[in-house]
Amino acid sequence: MISRRPEEFGDEELVTSAQQGERQAFEVLVERYKQRAYHIAFGFTRDREDAKDLSQEAFLHAFSHLKTFDRRSGFYTWFYRILVNLCLDFRRRKGRVSWESLDEKTEKGNGLEKIPNPGPSPDQAAMSGEISTRISAALATLPPKQRAIFLLKNNQGLSIGEIAAVMKSAEGTIKAHLHRAVMALRERLTELA
C-alpha cells in the first residue's frame, strides 16, 4: 500500500481526520487556505496585521467548531462563511472607513501605499497612484455585504453559486449586489477622472 503525505489528501479526508482529533490534518487545511483567507481579510481591513489576526481567528473558530461541520457544503465554503462573518463583524466593530479618513491615513504613510504593485497591466500602469488609492477608498465605501460579494468575485474568483453558498443567499440576490457594487465603484471612480 502506498502511503500518501497529508498534503495529498482532499479536504474531506483531512476534515474527517481532524474531526477524529488529528491536529496535523487541520494544520494541512490551514496551509492550504491561509493565503486565500488572508487576502479576503486584507480586502476588508486593508491592514496586514488585522488581516492576519482575522484569518487566524477564522481558522481557530473552524477548529473549535469542526465537530459541528455537517458537510452539507465543502470545507472551504463553510470556512469562507466563518471568515466573511468575522470580516463583516470586524467592519461593524471598527466602523466604516470613510473616504476622507482613508485618504488621510494614506497620506500619513500608514496605509495603502505600503501595498506593493502586483505587476500592472498596461491599463493599470496608466493609472496614477492617486487613482489607485481612490479605488481602495471607493471600495471602503461600499456597504459591507456588497463589498464581501465584490471581493469574493473580483479578487477570489468564486462563482456566483459559491458566493451564494458562502453568504447563504439566493443567486439572484448575489447577482444584484454584485451589479450594484460594480456600478457604485464605476460611479465613484469616474468622479475622479
Binding site for another protein (CB under 8 A): 23, 26-27, 30-31, 34-35, 38-39, 42, 48, 51-52, 56, 59-60, 63-64, 112, 115-116, 118, 120-121, 123-124, 127, 131-132, 135-136, 139, 153-155, 159-160, 175-176, 178-179, 182-183, 185-187, 189-193
Residue 94 CB, nearest approach to another protein (Å): 18
Cα gap 47→39, rounded to integer Å: 10
Which one, 84 or 184, has the nearer CB to another protein? 184
Residue 44 CB, nearest approach to another protein (Å): 12
Which one, 3 or 193, has the nearer CB to another protein? 193
Cell of 50: 488585522
Local structure of residue 61 (DSSP, 8 states): H
CB 171 within 8 A of CB 160: yes
Which one, 42 or 78, has the nearer CB to another protein? 42
Class of residue 128 by CB neighbours under 10 A (exposed 0-12, middle 13-18, buried 19+): exposed
Residue 23 CB, nearest approach to another protein (Å): 7
Cα gap 111→109, rounded to integer Å: 6
Cell of 94: 471598527
Residue 55 CB, nearest approach to another protein (Å): 8
Cα gap 106→145, rounded to integer Å: 24
Which one, 3 or 118, has the nearer CB to another protein? 118
